[in-house]
Structure 1
């Protein structure tokens, strides 16, 4: 009888130990999968030469955005790190803050290959330069830039530089860089949200080639965004935080609705425009109130 009672606790301990090991394996596999998805998004959305980060990551395989889009917000923050580093380093010099912001903007565009800026420019040309859906789509595919695209690009770059200079002046280089990274992550989360919500404007477009994020993917992208957004919760006043979020979300929704009206849904250019406009909206909202 005593031997049976001695064995029972041992079996319970072994069961708990096995469950703990299984949980650790699940968390380890989940972490590796998220790292691989993040690396895939970094390669797709930037020019950063990122090697394979683990055994789950295959740089040669085409991206599957049904799954990996959940990591887009984290990838956005990573892509913005070089620009944020330049902003922090130069922010502690005597260089005028507007010049710092211009250089920061230039580094960010160079890191992404001006991917999203190109999308905004194409959307402006297509949406406002064509009279029919087919003509608008044709204009958006044209690599040449028109008057509407050039104007939108100039306004966007100038406004971003001015807003970043004001952000650096108000919060200082270190805190401003954290808020800048939060905005880059949020803009990618809203990009994923609109990608999932909107129909594809072209049957052969981005969704057909690489898949379209699911609702579950959007929910995971939201969770991934939260840690990067934490500095904003501590550094911003509640009115500034709420206004920044409202403007960013409204910009994403309005861009999506306009895309449905003009061309029937989303394209890669539309998603790039969503990223640019929501990033600007978040920056503006942070600075509009104390």
Structure 2
């Protein structure tokens, strides 16, 4: 009788802690008072945390387009709002990975460059590129389907791209002993399954309802292919994953989800 409420309460607590980890949104302190909590377990709720994180940028997108701001500008404001809410956590990871992969020829040098908080040419290009590509994709959806559909697409992408982090995290060994990802431990199989199922379900339902099945299917296929390719690249360049590559994975998946949704606009159904 009490199992369902307990399970919901546990999932809600995981979602709150995952939201605090992935963003700067305020989370009540009582959610951190539970015994035995760990990010490897809380990662099960990354898709739900992504949904919460996407709400304010989605509302901003609708508001801006309603008052007459052009689609690309509205989308850019929404993407920048997302970066502000997350503290540019994932963009920072992408920039560090770009600097490390582009600026060194051996594994140890790459890891050393990635630890440096300063951003180089490769990192600057990568961060500028992700902002432009996400804004362009979201703006194309606004122009073709309207701001409400784009707002739901934004939320779906936010959920699915953060669920992808969990799969990527669990599928590769740690490349940097003592790093953030390594110290947290690898997500349990149950957490990976929960994140994958919830992330795909949220995206499939919300993106299909907002944009269409074909668009959603194209987006998922592109994102899976990109994630697989990036995981192989990380193994070749680093021998595994780091906290920076987790952030880069989220950005790559988000870009490809928006790309797929935008490409689907031009395909007749």
The one of 136, 161, 177 aligned to 2:110: 136
In the other structure, the counterpart of 2:158 is 184
Look up the SS of the partner of 2:32 in the other structure: coil
In the other structure, the counterpart of 1:288 is 263
8 Å CA contact 1:118–1:272 kept in 2: the answer is yes
Q: TM-score scaled to structure 2, two decimals? A: 0.93
Change (3 A) 1:90 1:224: same
Q: Aligned partners of 2:35 and 2:226: how far apart in 1? A: 33
Alpha-carbon offset, residue 227 of structure 1: 4.7
- Per-residue CA deviations over 1:72-98 (Å, capped at 9, x if unaligned) read 011011112111110011121211111
Q: Quick check: 1:123 aligned with 2:123?
A: no
Identify unmatched segments of 5+ residues in structure 2. none
RMSD between aligned alpha carbons?
1.7
Q: Aligned partners of 2:102 and 2:200: how far apart in 1? A: 36
Q: Highest CA radius of gyration, 1 or 2? A: 1
How many residue pairs match? The answer is: 264
Q: Aligned partners of 1:76 and 1:228: how far apart in 2? A: 10
In the other structure, the counterpart of 1:51 is 28
Q: TM-score scaled to structure 1, two decimals? A: 0.87
Look up the SS of the partner of 1:209 in the other structure: helix
Matches within 5 A, 1:88-237: 88-229=62-203, 230-237=205-212
In the other structure, the counterpart of 2:9 is 32
Identify unmatched segments of 5+ residues in structure 1. 1-21
Matches within 5 A, 1:14-93: 22=1, 25-52=2-29, 57-58=31-32, 64-93=38-67
Q: Aligned partners of 1:235 and 1:113: how far apart in 2? A: 28
The one of 210, 214, 231 aligned to 1:256: 231
Q: Quick check: 1:269 aligned with 2:244?
A: yes
